[in-house]
Amino acid sequence: MIGTKIDLRDDPDPNDYDIRRLAKSEGVILTRKDGENMAKELKLQGFAECSAKTQVSPAGQTRIRA
């Protein structure tokens, strides 16, 4: 399982398009622990996070296979 747009967690700019979309749909930003728990609950092999904006990728976190 991959958590994307993790940059929104650290810098929730209220003018950001994605933050406005989340607010409109009553969505929430999940923590890394939330993602890990969900992956475990779904019996997935693992969980990683990424952000294109801040160039954080799962490469150093875990190996991803399709």
pLDDT tens-place string over residues 12-65? 676 777 777 777 887 778 889 999 999 999 999 888 888 887 777 765 555 555
* The pLDDT value given to residue 15: 75
Strands (E), 1-66: 2-3, 48-49
CA-to-CA dists, residue 5 to 24, 43, 52, angstroms: 17, 23, 7
* The pLDDT value given to residue 59: 54
State residue 3 phi and psi, 5-degree precision: -95, 125
* The pLDDT value given to residue 61: 52
For residues 64 and 11, the model is more confident at: 11
* The pLDDT value given to residue 64: 54
**Angle, CA of 10, 11 and 14, to the nearest 5°:** 140
Strands (E), 5-65: 48-49
